């Protein structure tokens, strides 16, 4: 199957467009919601299931089935039923990736009924885009492909998510959440929803203080602070944070810490290389806005900080550190790690970085 060319930002744009169409009650006869990122699929499915029919109509005309417990023929028959005392019959197929012979749904999708709305939630992977079933869904209805974000994409999405709630979020709070929860949008949205509900009336900004109090992430012992301590060569503070991580390994996975450090040193390496091009090749050094695009950052203050930090590091050393981080990424996954636990590996990694 051909690899998708869509990016996470494309999914976000399509998601917002679909939400607007649902809110305007512009419905399609078929919705194929598919892909690795379950958050968008769940939100769109919930929006459709609560919007198409009134609660009274749902009792008669809305049926939810699950792929594992169903077969394609049963679902086709359900779709061909006429609604009772309403405009639509709504059939929701959840966990469609577990439905055997899903292609047989083409017996219905080749000629869908105007009175039926079929919602297919296909998680973990895409439907085969070469199949007649996929092509019929795309032709007669709406296909939404949910792309999982990369680590560098999650921060801008989080800022946008909070902005839709009428709030801002400061850089440290955003970094604390993404470092702690990774790229799991469902977890991030759940934690933010709980946090926002608990904020005092009139609050305009989510800060690291609120994140520490409501989400339970320490504002002193987190990957944001560790990266800052390493970049500023504050050995004592970095090792204190490493000791805290070693005592709380479940809350501070080594893999996420290595990813955070790698991202920081990658940015430093790029900025220093651009400086080298400017000095030795006469290539103009990019302005802050261009650097934001190059480094995929959403805040000019972050760019200024990276430029200041990069001046303290020689790129030969940074290159060696990136190699170390790749090596310890493997160790965090059990490759040549020996009997060392995550806490010991992190201390060992930090000492090697400081010795460069």
Q: Where along the chain do its domains lie?
A: 8-146, 154-215, 223-355
Residue tagged 């609050």 (tokens): 203
Each residue's pLDDT tens digit, 307-356: 999 999 999 999 999 999 999 999 998 898 888 899 999 999 999 999 98
The confidence score (pLDDT) of residue 217 equals 75
The confidence score (pLDDT) of residue 322 equals 96
159 and 174 in contact (C-beta within 8 Å)?
Answer: yes
pLDDT tens digits in sequence order for the chain, 356 residues long: 455 678 999 999 999 999 999 999 999 999 999 999 999 999 999 999 999 999 999 999 999 999 999 999 999 999 999 998 778 999 999 999 999 999 999 999 999 999 999 999 999 999 999 999 999 999 999 999 999 998 778 888 999 999 999 999 988 888 888 877 778 898 889 888 888 888 888 899 999 888 888 787 777 888 989 999 999 999 999 999 999 999 988 888 999 899 999 999 999 999 999 999 999 999 999 999 999 999 988 778 889 999 999 999 999 999 999 999 999 999 998 898 888 899 999 999 999 999 98
Residue tagged 């400017």 (tokens): 278
CB atoms within 10 A of CB 89: 24
Number of residues in the chain:
356
What's the CATH code, domain 223-355?
1.20.272.10
* Long-range contacts of residues 130-135, Cβ cutoff 8 Å, at least 24 apart: 130/1, 131/103, 131/106, 132/103, 132/106, 133/102, 133/103, 133/104, 133/105, 133/106, 133/109, 134/32
Of all residues in the chain, the percent with pLDDT exceeding 90 is 72
Hey, do 8-146 and 223-355 end up sharing a CATH topology, with the first three levels equal? no
For domain 154-215, the CATH class is mainly alpha
CATH, domain 8-146, list 3.10.110.10, 3.30.70.580, 3.50.50.60, 3.40.50.300: 3.40.50.300
């Amino acid at each position: 199957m051909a690899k998708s060319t869509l990016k996470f930002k494309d999914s976000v744009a399509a998601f917002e467009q679909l939400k607007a169409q649902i809110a305007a009650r512009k419905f399609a006869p078929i919705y194929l919601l598919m892909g690795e990122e379950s958050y968008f699929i769940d939100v769109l499915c919930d929006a459709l299931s609560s919007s198409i029919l009134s609660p009274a109509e749902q009792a008669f005309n809305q049926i939810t089935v699950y792929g594992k417990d169903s077969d394609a023929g049963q679902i086709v028959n359900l779709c061909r039923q006429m609604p009772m005392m309403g405009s639509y019959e709504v059939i929701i197929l959840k966990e469609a990736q577990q439905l055997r012979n899903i292609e047989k749904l083409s017996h219905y999708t080749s000629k869908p009924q105007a009175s039926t709305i079929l919602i297919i939630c296909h998680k973990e992977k895409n439907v085969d885009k070469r199949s007649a079933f996929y092509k019929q869904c795309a032709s007669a209805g709406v296909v939404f492909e949910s792309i999982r974000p990369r680590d560098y994409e999650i921060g801008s999405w989080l800022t946008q998510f909070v902005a839709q709630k009428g709030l801002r979020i400061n850089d440290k709070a955003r970094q604390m959440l993404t470092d702690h929860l990774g790229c799991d949008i469902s977890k991030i949205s759940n934690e933010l929803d709980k946090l926002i509900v608990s904020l005092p009336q009139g609050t305009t900004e989510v800060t690291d203080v609120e994140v520490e109090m409501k989400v339970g992430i320490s504002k002193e012992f987190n990957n944001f602070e560790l990266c800052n301590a390493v970049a500023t060569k504050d050995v004592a503070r970095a090792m204190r944070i490493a000791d805290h991580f070693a005592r709380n390994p479940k809350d501070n996975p080594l893999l996420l810490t290595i990813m955070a450090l790698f991202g920081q040193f990658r940015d430093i390496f790029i900025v220093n290389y651009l400086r080298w091009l400017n000095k030795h090749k006469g290539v103009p050094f990019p302005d802050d806005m261009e650097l934001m695009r190059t480094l995929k950052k959403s805040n000019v203050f972050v760019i200024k900080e990276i430029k200041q930090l990069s001046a303290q590091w020689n790129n030969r050393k940074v290159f060696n550190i990136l190699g170390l981080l790749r090596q310890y990424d493997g160790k965090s996954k059990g490759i040549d790690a020996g009997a060392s636990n995550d806490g010991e590996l992190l201390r060992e990694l930090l000492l090697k970085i400081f010795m460069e």
